[in-house]
Amino acid sequence: EAGVTQFPSHSVIEKGQTVTLRCDPISGHDNLYWYRRVMGKEIKFLLHFVKESKQDESGMPNNRFLAERTGGTYSTLKVQPAELEDSGVYFCASSQPGTGGIYEQYFGPGTRLTVT
Amino acid sequence: AQSVSQHNHHVILSEAASLELGCNYSYGGTVNLFWYVQYPGQHLQLLLKYFSGDPLVKGIKGFEAEFIKSKFSFNLRKPSVQWSDTAEYFCAVNLKSGGYNKLIFGAGTRLAVHP
């Protein structure tokens, strides 16, 4: 079974540009999460999808960040326009179907975003 | 606000030394607790988890952790570390309440094991 995949693995962009990160969860996992780790800090929750619906987006930093999950499969996270403080590693995770229980989250390798 | 504290940011040990990494959380309700590990160049992967039952949980690669509710702690232990345990370790809690289903992580502990 394939794990969670993320693309690209690295991205270097200039301040003011747009970047789109992609996450493909494990097949059949309805729950998809985005997290971010700024250098030296803790991994922080950004948002949670259940299928195509946003269950919790309380961690999204501001309206420059837009997450979508078309058809309840893969998800994209767009940053527009990017700022220096957006640099960090963006992780995606997915978990098994169901919203009431607590399931193990499987993480992707992360996308390292550098904004210069 | 709920938070997770990991006491040590960097730990250096020699092979065969014993390991204990501290983790405390701040939340008065029911929690699910996890330790994740990220080996160099690899994904975050689950080391062990506590949902309920026996507060001493065993994980992969000889790791164990003990949930002490009265101390809000979930410390990770290994009696004898190996060079291959060099990695970054993250403690996390998952709030078990209503619609909450997100992980709150500690800042991580970088462990370096010298041969």
CB contact under 8 A, A42 and B46: no
Chain B CB contacts of A92 under 8 Å are none
Percent of chain B with pLDDT over 90: 77
Confidence band of B99 (pLDDT split at 50, 70, 90)? low
Note the pLDDT tens digit of each residue in B28-78: 777 889 999 999 989 999 999 998 899 999 999 999 999 999 999 999 999
CB contact under 8 A, A48 and B101: yes
The per-residue pLDDT for A61 is 93
Closest residue of A to B93, CA-based?
A: A102
On whether the CB atoms of residues B33 and B93 are closer than 8 A, the answer is: yes
Looking at the DSSP bridge assignments, the partners of residue B34 are B49, B92
Count other Cβ atoms within 10 Å, centred on residue B19. 19
CA distance A19 to chain B (A): 22
Note the pLDDT tens digit of each residue in A6-39: 999 999 999 999 999 999 999 989 899 999 999 8
**CB nearest B107 (choices: A41, A109, A110):** A41
Tokens matching residue B6: 């990991």
Interface test with A, best of B4, B32, B43, B46 (most A CBs within 10 A): B43
Percent of chain B with pLDDT over 70: 96
List phi, psi (to 5°) of B34: -140, 150
The per-residue pLDDT for A96 is 84
Q: Could you tell me which of B22, B26, B2 has the C-alpha nearest to residue B11?
A: B22
CB contact under 8 A, A99 and B51: no
